[in-house]
Structure 1
C-alpha cells in the first residue's frame, strides 16, 4: 500500500477542498472534534431539500459538509465519529417567537390546560388540578398559587372559571389562573387584594375587566391592559434560584431541538435577570430579548442602542417589542368587522380594540427606527395589521423598503392586500399555524369559516415572495417544533377536518420557517439556519426526516439529540 507523507497528505487535501470551495482541513494529527455520518443530513440550503453524507465540526463550527469519504479522510486521533444510525440530522431549530422567561417560572405553576396539553376540560377539573398542585408544593395559607393554560372556549357550554369558584376552593390563598393567550387571568378575591384590584374600579383603555351581571363587582377575568397590574408583579425565581431555573427552562427548549430562543416581551427586571444568568455562564442556548414598550425607555438608558444586536455570553438584545392588540381566542384581537359571538364581556358589535394607546406605539416605533433597531409588532386582527402598516409607512420616512427586518408577530388574520403591502415594505410575517389545531374551532365560531380558513396563511406569504417564520408563542402552546411543522403541513382542526387546505405547505417549507427563515428574521442567516461551511454547529438529530414521512406522522417524530456549537445539550432519555 502506498503511504502518503503526513505533510503532503494535508497539503493535498487542503488544495482539493479549496478547489471545491470548502474550508481547509485541520493539519494537526488530532483532527477535527467531530464527524457526523450514517443518516440523512438535510442541509436546509436552497429552496428544495438538499443532502450531504457527512458533516465535520471543529471549534463549534461546521468545517466541512459533503461526501462521507472526504469527511472520514479528515479524521484524526482525537476525532469523535458520531453515527446517526439512520436518524436524520438538521440544523438546530430557531424559535421565531416565544416568551423564554416564562420557562424559568413554569415549574412553579400548575398546568390547567385542556387536553392534549393538560388535564382540565371544565372548571371542576381546573380546581382539582390546582388543589393537587397546592398539595404537591405544601401551599401554606397566604401563599400565592398560579395556574396556566385556562381556555374558556374548551369549557362545556356556559361554564367559565370565576372568582367565586376560586374563592370557594381557596379562601385563604391568592390564586391566579393565567389565560391560554397569556394576555389575561382569572383571579380570586385574595389575588385581587394582592394586585390592587377592587370592585367598582374603572376598566383601563385597551383592557377587559369582567363584572358580575348587573353589578360593578369583579367576576375574576382580567385581560390586556386590565391584566397589566398583575402581569407586572408576577413572581419569578430569585437570584438564588435563577440559575437552576434557567437551566430547567432551557432544557425545555433543547428537548424540542431549539438552539436559539426568544424572550418576546422583556421588562427591565426580566432583562436584568437574563443578564445575571448570562454573566454567570448560565445560558446553554442563545437567547434573544426584545424590550417591551412599557420599559423600553428605562432599558435604553442602561443598554444604549449600540449594545443591541450583539451576543454577550449567548444573550442578545434584539430590538423593540410592542403589542398592538390581543388574542383572537380571547376576543381581544382588533378587527375591522365585529365578532360573530360578541365581546369577552358580552359586548355587542365588538371588534376588539388596541391594547396600548396608539400614539405611544407610534412614538416607540419612531424611537426604534431612528436608532436602527429592529421592531417586533404583535398584531392578530386585520385592524391591528392595518395600523402596523400605516405606522411603518409613517415612521419609515422616504425608504419604506429599507432592510429593517421589521416583524409582525402572529399576524394571523392578515388579508391578501396586507400580504402584498408586507412584500413591498419588507415586513416579515411571523405566523402561528398551531392555532389551526388548538384554537381553529373557536376562530370559526368567532370569525366565521371564510376568514378563519385564511388564518396564518403560510402559502400565500411564500407565494408573495416573503420569508415567513412560524412560532409557538410558548407557553400559549407547548414548545414543540415538530407539532408546529405538522400544523403548517396539515392545518388540521382539533375537532377533525381541515382549516384552510389551500394554505397547507410542504414539510420542507415548514422547516424553513423555523431554520433559515428564522435566522434571517434575526439577521443571523450568515451563521445559523442551515448546515454549511462556516456556520455554527447548532444541530438537531431527529428520529426521522420530516420531508420523508407521511404528513400526518410528522408530529410523532422525536428529538433524539440537540447540539449547540457542536456540543450535546440534550439527549433523549
Structure 2
C-alpha cells in the first residue's frame, strides 16, 4: 500500500553523498523526512499517493542541503544596514577612493543625517591599488560630520575616522592592549586608523544595537542570504551573550526557518553558562541551539595577526621586525576555557591560523583532556590554515577535526606567498593531506570574510587558483566529490548530526538543494558559476531563485 509521500523529486541527477557515493533517480519525502531513495519506478510504487506532489527536476541536480561548517551568522544581521566595502569580486572596494564613494552612495540613499554612525565591511588592505591604505585622515576628509568605521575583511579589526575614535574612547593616550594592534601616525601616538584584535574590542563590543523591528527585518535578510546559498544549517561561529539572547528570542517566536547553531565566545563563558546550563546545550529548540564553545587563539594571516613560530617575511602590520604575530590570550586562559568546556561535556571550536596558534590549541587540549586525549569530542580546529604535518598527525591521535578555509587560496594566496614564502603558502589549508590521514575535514567560508557562496568553497578546494591565476599548492587540490563531502556529510558529522543530515538517505531530514548544473561534472573552473535553483528545508522550499 502506498505510504502517501508528501512529495517526490525525480527527473534529474540526485547525488546522495551516502557511504557508497551513489546516485538516485528519485527521492520521496513525508513530514519533513526522506522516506525513499532509489529508482523512480520503485520509489513511485512504494510512496506515491493521490496527494503526492510530483516535482520534475528537468535535468537539474539535487544534493544534500549544505551544512555550514563555520561562518558568523549574526554578521549577516548587521550587513543589512552596512556598506559593502569589499574588493572585487565581492564589492567595489579596491581603493580608498572606491570605498569612500560606496559610503557616500550609501549615506545619500539612506539619507543619513550628520552625527549618525555609518559602518561598512570588507576592508582589505592587501587589495588596495598602489598599496595606498585606508586611513583616518581619508575618512575624516570625506565624513567630517559622521563617525565612520570600516570593518576589516578578517572581522578582527576596523579603520576608524576621528569621530569614531572619539565615540569609542580610543586616543593617543590609549595603550595598545596585549594581543592587539593600534596603528599610529608616524612619529606620533595618534591612531592612524586601523585597529585590530584586542585593540578592536571597544568598537566590536559596542556596535550599534538594533530596535526590535530592525531585528526582525535583519533576521529575514540574513536567513534569506544563507538560504539562497543552499545552506540549511548555519553557524554563528563566535556568539557573544547578546547574540545568543537575540537568537533565542527569535527562536521562541518561531521566526527561524534555518537550523542555527551558536558557539559561545570563550571570554564570556561564565555569564553564558549561568544563563544557559550545560544540560541545555546541544539540543535544538525551535531550530536553534548552542552547540558548544568558541576559543580564539590568534588573528588572520592576511592582516599579519596570525601567530607563527617563524617571522613574517614582510614584517609586522605596523612595521615590526622579526614579527611572528601574537596569541590572542595567554596559554593559561586557553587551558582554563578548554577545561571548563570539556569538564561540562561541551564541544569546543578553536580558531587557529598560524602554526603557533595550533600549538597553543593542542597544548590546551592536552591540558584539558589529560587521561583521555583520544576521546571523540568532535573538537574542531577552525581554519587550520597553516597547520604543520606533525600537527595534523596529532589531530589524528586526538580525534580533532580540521575545518579548513580553501577560499584563502583565491582571496589571499598571493599575499600568503609574499608573507610566508612559497613552501608554507602552498601547504595552506591542506585538504588532500587531511583526507589522506582520514581526518574527514570540512571546508568553510568564514562568512563574511568570504561570501557565503558554497559553490565557491567547492571550486577553490578543487582548483586552488589565486587572484592572479597561480595554483597555490597543486598537490593539495581535491576532487569535486570530496569538496562536496566537506560541506555536507563531513560537516554534519562535525556537528554530531550525521545520523540526520548531510546525505540523501532514508530516515534523514529532507534538507536538499537543487542546482542548475552538476558541480561534479562541469569543467573544474566552472564550478563557481553553478547556481542554486532551490533550497528545501525539512521538505519545504525556503528559497527559489527568481
TM-score normalised by L of structure 2: 0.99
Contact 2:334 2:361 in 1 (8 A): no
Tell me how far 1:238 sits from its aligned partner: 2.1
2:254 equivalent to 1:281: yes
Contact 1:225 1:356 in 2 (8 A): no
Tell me how far 1:105 sits from its aligned partner: 1.3
Tell me how far 1:157 sits from its aligned partner: 3.4
Tell me how far 1:153 sits from its aligned partner: 0.5
Contact 1:485 1:507 in 2 (8 A): yes
Match of 1:72 among 44, 55, 68: 44
2:284 equivalent to 1:311: yes
Number of paired residues?
A: 545
Aligned to 1:163: 136
Aligned to 2:83: 110
Q: Where does 1:407-556 land on structure 2 (aligned, <5 Å)?
A: 407-556=380-529
3-state SS of 1:227 partner: helix
Once superposed, what is the RMSD of the aligned Cα atoms?
Answer: 0.9
3-state SS of 2:89 partner: coil
3-state SS of 2:381 partner: strand
Aligned to 1:14: none
3-state SS of 1:108 partner: coil
Structure 2: runs of 5 or more not aligned: none
| Partners of 2:394 and 2:329 in 1: CA distance | 24
2:17 equivalent to 1:44: yes
2:190 equivalent to 1:217: yes
2:329 equivalent to 1:361: no
Moved segments of 4+, more than 6 Å: none
3-state SS of 1:482 partner: helix
3-state SS of 2:460 partner: helix
| Partners of 1:134 and 1:449 in 2: CA distance | 42
Tell me how far 1:497 sits from its aligned partner: 2.0
Aligned to 2:62: 89
Match of 1:61 among 33, 40, 48: 33
Contact 1:104 1:236 in 2 (8 A): no
Match of 1:324 among 287, 297, 300: 297
Aligned to 1:349: 322
Tell me how far 1:237 sits from its aligned partner: 2.6
| Partners of 2:439 and 2:472 in 1: CA distance | 22
Tell me how far 1:236 sits from its aligned partner: 4.1
Tell me how far 1:440 sits from its aligned partner: 0.7
Tell me how far 1:343 sits from its aligned partner: 0.4
Aligned to 2:181: 208
Match of 1:406 among 379, 390, 404: 379
Aligned to 2:225: 252
| Partners of 1:514 and 1:158 in 2: CA distance | 35
Structure 1: runs of 5 or more not aligned: 1-9, 11-24
Deviations 1:312-356 (A, max 9, x none): 000010000010000000000000000000000000000000112
Tell me how far 1:156 sits from its aligned partner: 2.5
Contact 2:125 2:131 in 1 (8 A): no
Deviations 1:360-379 (A, max 9, x none): 22111100000110000000
| Partners of 1:539 and 1:78 in 2: CA distance | 21
Aligned to 1:234: 207
| Partners of 2:67 and 2:210 in 1: CA distance | 25
